[in-house]
Amino acid sequence: MEQRALSIKFELVKCIQCKKCTRNCPSAKHGGIIPNETVLAVREGNYTGDPWTCLMCHRCSMVCPEGIEVAGLVMALRNNEVEAGNVPERFGRVYGNFRKVGDTMSIADSTDDERNAFGLPKICREPGVPEKLEKMSGRRIQ
Ligand code: SF4
Ligand code: SF4
């Protein structure tokens, strides 16, 4: 969705640049996304930032005095990146694991050995999960 449409959808005109979102953002504290600047840039139609540094904790949305769904906006910006084929390798890796074993965690065979030592059963690997999801949603999962 283009930036102007996002600005309308998320009512970014309501932003008063109080920076409460940024003061409460764990990512901004460590050099990541700066939510109030993201909102402003999208509103002005010149956003070129990196939405992947967001942790999706939704704090920004919770503290915004104007009720702006800042995290939802960041998610929409990510969707734009995905549509443009710009997915960071680390996310591709997580999704690759999901395709392989039906889990987003990278589980090595040695994990089973460690679990066995504690008398725990093997981790369930379910490679059929993506296929089941496709059937449920009627959409092909790439
Ligand atoms: S908390 Fe809300 S109003 Fe304040 S800067 Fe962030 S988005 Fe704008
Ligand atoms: S959802 Fe993202 S932008 Fe919002 S506070 Fe959390 S890390 Fe920051």
C-alpha distance from residue 88 to each of 17, 65, 67, 84 (Å): 29, 32, 30, 12
Question: Measured from the CB, is residue 23 less than 6 Å from ligand 1?
Answer: no
Q: Which two tokens stand for residue 68?
A: 């702006």
pLDDT at res. 130? 65
Identify which of 19, 59, 69, 77 to mutate to test ligand 1's pocket (most ligand atoms within 8 A of the CB): 19
Atom of ligand 2 nearest to the CA of 33: 3
Question: Which domains are assigned to the chain?
Answer: 3-83 (1.10.1060.10), 89-137 (no CATH)
Question: Measured from the CB, is residue 64 less than 6 Å from ligand 1?
Answer: yes
Nearest CA to ligand 1 atom 8: 15
pLDDT at res. 106? 65
Please list the pLDDT of the chain residue by residue as tens digits (142 residues).
999 999 999 999 999 999 999 999 999 999 999 999 999 999 999 999 999 999 999 999 999 999 999 999 999 999 999 899 888 888 877 777 777 766 676 667 787 888 889 998 877 776 676 677 677 766 665 5
pLDDT at res. 69? 97
Angle value at C-alpha 87, between 6 and 21, nearest 5 degrees: 45
